[in-house]
Amino acid sequence: MLLASLAVVAGFVLLAWSADRFVDGAASIARHFRVSPMIIGLTIVSLCTSFPEMLVSAIAAFDGNSDLGIGNALGSNIANIGMVLGVTALIVPLTMRSSIFKREMPVLLVVMLLALALMFDGDLNRIDGVILLTALLALLWWLVRLGMQDRYDPLEGEYEDVIPVDMTLGASILWFVVGLVLLLVSSRIVVWGSVEIAHFFGISDLVIGLTIVAIGTSLPELMASIMSVRKGEDDLAIGNVIGSNMFNVLAVLSMPALIAPQAFDRLALVRDFPIMIGFTVVLFLMAYGFSKRGELGRIEGAVLTAGFIAYLYLLYPGS
């Protein structure tokens, strides 16, 4: 048990470090090929931010723990809104200036409803996985077009600030490869340790994916969001969460569907999926449906954080 706990902690530290190197390498490579910062941010950075969740989900599926991967996808989305944006807004209120979010949030809800429809029969099969990957490609195409149309959006400058400019192409490729290899290693460590902890305490794979794994893979985004808003890059913090959540649903959920198609724990459908959608709707209403349009203040942050804590409390009695 002690070894498993140390493995999870070490795995998350290595996962966070290697994810940063991987994202920087991928973004820098794209910059060397003269891809615009907006397109890099909306597609490459957002997709690469979800890569740790994808690898954890894939490795868990290979090990026969598909519920852990499903829990990771749903739990990461809940943690991104409830924990990452909630805690960040508690520290520094967020202001949404980018008009892109008004188009991305409804698309995020459509993506979630698509996944809900595919999972409604209680089974994730390879056809579902192919549909999710096809939707992922369509999403990438739409985001590229969006990035080309909104080159003067405030988000453009914020993405430009975080993409490495002094990294050579050779160094970019090196960090990309090193980051990818270490992501694979750290994901393997995290999955092993998490499964051992789950079995020791008699907790289901779904719950361990929704909690320890989801929170661990979301901690780097929490740190990045806090750093972003302290530098006045509020849109970047919010954009990373929305983009990551879209890719989590399409890319991360497709891993168990393609690798180990099988029936999953029904609680994911009747408990966790509605809560994930609920957090997303609440975020949209807070940002654009109340009096202070485009703002997430400390009150909203407190509500999101309290909701996330209540969700964690809900999980364990039923595990």
pLDDT per residue rounded down to tens, the chain (319 residues): 788 889 888 988 898 888 888 888 888 898 888 888 778 877 888 888 888 889 999 999 998 889 999 999 999 999 999 999 999 999 888 887 777 777 888 899 999 999 999 999 989 999 999 999 999 999 999 988 887 776 666 667 767 777 888 889 999 999 999 989 998 899 889 989 988 888 888 888 899 999 989 988 888 778 778 877 777 777 778 888 888 899 999 999 999 999 988 889 999 999 999 999 999 999 988 877 655 567 788 899 999 999 999 999 999 754 4
3-state secondary structure at position 50: coil
Cα 318 to Cα 63: distance, rounded to the nearest angstrom:
24
263: DSSP letter: E
Nearest to 121 by CA among 305, 293, 266, 245: 266
Statement: the pTM of the whole predicted model exceeds 0.95: no
Provide the number of structural domains found in the chain: 1
Tell me, what CATH number does 193's domain have?
1.20.1420.30
Say what the pLDDT of residue 257 is.
Answer: 93
Say what the pLDDT of residue 154 is.
Answer: 67
Cα 251 to Cα 236: distance, rounded to the nearest angstrom:
21
Q: How many CB atoms lie within 10 A of CB 110?
A: 13
Say what the pLDDT of residue 319 is.
Answer: 46
Say what the pLDDT of residue 75 is.
Answer: 94
Cα 272 to Cα 42: distance, rounded to the nearest angstrom:
27
Cα 302 to Cα 308: distance, rounded to the nearest angstrom:
10
Enumerate the H helices of 204-268 as residue ranges.
205-208, 214-230, 234-247, 253-259, 267
Cα 259 to Cα 271: distance, rounded to the nearest angstrom:
24
Host domain of residue 232: 2-318
